[in-house]
Chains A and B, each alone.
Chain A
Amino acid sequence: MKTANWVIEMSRTQKAIATHCISVIFFLAVWYALSSILPGAFLPPPHSIVRSMYKIIVSGHFFKDMGLTLFRVIIGFGVAGAISTVIGVLMGIYFFFEKLFELEILVGLTIPGLIWVIIGILIFGLSENVSIFSVSVVLIPTFTINIWEGMKSLDPKLIEMARVYKSSQWMIIQSIVIPQLVPYIFAAVRFGLGVAWKVVVIAELFALGNGIGHQISNNFELMNLGGVISWAVLFCFTMLGIEYGIVRPVEKRVTKWRMKGAF
């Protein structure tokens, strides 16, 4: 088979975009086919999901519940970030703290989010604290491991250089330590976003009367698969929006020094 000329002439990015499109179209086609084969109205076709997503957005539920869910994720991120930074930095500097927390961190990574939600409910009852507690506790091991790794990878030669010029501790932290931790922080944020939303939805489902998790649980009680899918898809779009609209541009900005030049 001979490859057509216009395919050869496409750039790599164009090929990547084209392949993405083919993949999405194929996925939608399979979905459409399944929805017409499966008996009854069990699986709604893609276009009816779009309609129901539109309804959710127009009704105002989307912004209210999505806002609440994101708010809980952000609070959990903040609490986990503050605690993990302290623990991770201590672990990176002192052998004592490294050994003190190492086991707990490794064990913490393996505990499912659901368990923390249940423990949270047992401690706090059905309250907002459950979501903050479970999100932060789930995130702490991941965040800490990243900061700890970052601390271990700091270049002691640069700190030596700073000591020759008598830099203050604060300048060393600001200009030498933090910039070297940046890639580790971004890795933690990416991974953390994925984990946090899975946990917050469970917390909302069990303990709270609003948020995405609650909406999904409502639709589940009505045996409404279309509603569940609509909320899930809306959430995916929001996450993509955060990744491409916030995380990537910020990352690109703070790592623009990596560009190689031609001098």
Chain B
Amino acid sequence: MENEGSVLKQGFGIKKMNEISTCIQVKDLFVEFKLRNGKSLSVIENISFQVKEKEFVCLVGPSGCGKSTILNLISNLVKPTYGNIGIGSTHDTHAPTLGYVFQDSRLLNWLTVRENITFALKSMQISRGIWDERVDHYLKIVGLRDFANEYPLSLSGGMQQRVSIARALSVQPEILLMDEPFSNLDELTARGLRRDLLEIWEKEKKAIIFVTHNATEAVFLADRILVLSKRPTRILQEKDIPLPRPRSLEDTRLFEIQKGIVSVLENHISSKEFA
């Protein structure tokens, strides 16, 4: 009887998860890297979180923590030591489509902007007939309609990052992963791109997991923020941001939340230093 009860409970749990349409479910995740001297380094220690469909989640943490590793786990570039990552709804077990915007644009400099995007489309085995339409649509969204035949090196850093965003969107991903995509750009360009990103997100309604070390950026963008610790990475705090968009950086409520996050991080770092 007891067994039956727990099975029922589990079943109920799955059902409930579907109702809130979970997009990513990360559970009890541990990651260790083997070092060259044979010892192992614990990078991620017991992380669990969920991302709902169409939710914008920011992972904020000090540099050098396992933020990027979490994105690499989701995109299957790194395998977890323990724990698992469920993507897509529980019954539908297809591998989901991912878009990944890296810190550096990672464009193929020898291909034109158009060819860079069709590289992703071809890789994802999207039928050739709709390539042009997709490329034109997403270049227009990122504001680079007239640059399809340029080579990346002739574009500015901000424009290259826009191409990389267009490439990620063009495969029409269920989840968009972004790894400090604006941290290499000057603040003004970054502000413009943040505003554009929110506009695109409103239109396309993807789930976005956005990694940053910049608390101000996080409170400006996210529905929910996960504050991460230094290595080995744990979740220090989870913070909902119920403020409506467009948000203003001068908004005192935004500033209060940001101050809260920064103080959590500061306390964590100083306590580590004394330990």
Question: What 0/1 pattern do residues 132 to 175 of A give for CB contact below 8 A with B?
Answer: 00000000000000000000000001101111111110010001
Neighbouring A residues of B8 by C-beta, 8 Å: none
Question: What 0/1 pattern do residues 111 to 127 of B give for CB contact below 8 A with A?
Answer: 10000000110111000
Q: A157-B104, A175-B119 are in contact. Are A165 and B171 (CB under 8 A)?
A: yes
Select one of A161, A176, A258, A259 contacting B100, CB under 8 A: A161
| 11 extra A-B contacts, CB within 8 A, seeds A175-B108, A259-B153, A263-B150 | A165-B100, A165-B120, A167-B119, A179-B108, A257-B111, A258-B109, A258-B153, A260-B153, A261-B153, A261-B154, A261-B155
Give 21 CB contacts A-B under 8 Å.
Answer: A157-B104, A165-B119, A166-B123, A166-B124, A167-B119, A167-B122, A171-B122, A175-B108, A175-B111, A175-B119, A176-B108, A179-B108, A179-B110, A182-B110, A254-B110, A261-B150, A261-B151, A261-B153, A261-B154, A263-B147, A263-B159
B123 touches A168 (CB 8 A): yes
The size bracket of the interface on A is 20 to 34
What is the distance, in angstroms, from A180's C-beta to the closest C-beta of chain B? 8
The SS class assigned to the B binding surface is loop
What is the distance, in angstroms, from B115's C-beta to the closest C-beta of chain A? 8
Select one of A165, A258, A261, A263 contacting B123, CB under 8 A: A165
A260 touches B123 (CB 8 A): no
Q: Is residue B102 contacting chain A, with contact meaning CB distance below 8 A?
A: yes
Select one of B100, B110, B156 contacting A257, CB under 8 A: B110
* Alpha-carbon separation in the docked complex, A260 to B152 (Å): 9
Neighbouring B residues of A158 by C-beta, 8 Å: 106, 108
What is the distance, in angstroms, from A254's C-beta to the closest C-beta of chain B? 8
Select one of B104, B124, B154 contacting A165, CB under 8 A: B124
B75 touches A164 (CB 8 A): yes
Q: A163-B77, A164-B98, A175-B111 are in contact. Are A263 and B154 (CB under 8 A)?
A: yes
A259 touches B77 (CB 8 A): no
Which single residue of chain A is at the shortest CB-CB distance from B111? A175
What is the distance, in angstroms, from A1's C-beta to the closest C-beta of chain B? 44
* Alpha-carbon separation in the docked complex, A260 to B147 (Å): 14
Neighbouring B residues of A176 by C-beta, 8 Å: 108
Question: What 0/1 pattern do residues 163 to 176 of B give for CB contact below 8 A with A?
Answer: 00000000100000
* Alpha-carbon separation in the docked complex, A1 to B75 (Å): 70
* Alpha-carbon separation in the docked complex, A262 to B147 (Å): 12
Which single residue of chain B is at the shortest CB-CB distance from A179? B110
A257 touches B106 (CB 8 A): no
What is the distance, in angstroms, from A174's C-beta to the closest C-beta of chain B? 10
A157 touches B106 (CB 8 A): yes
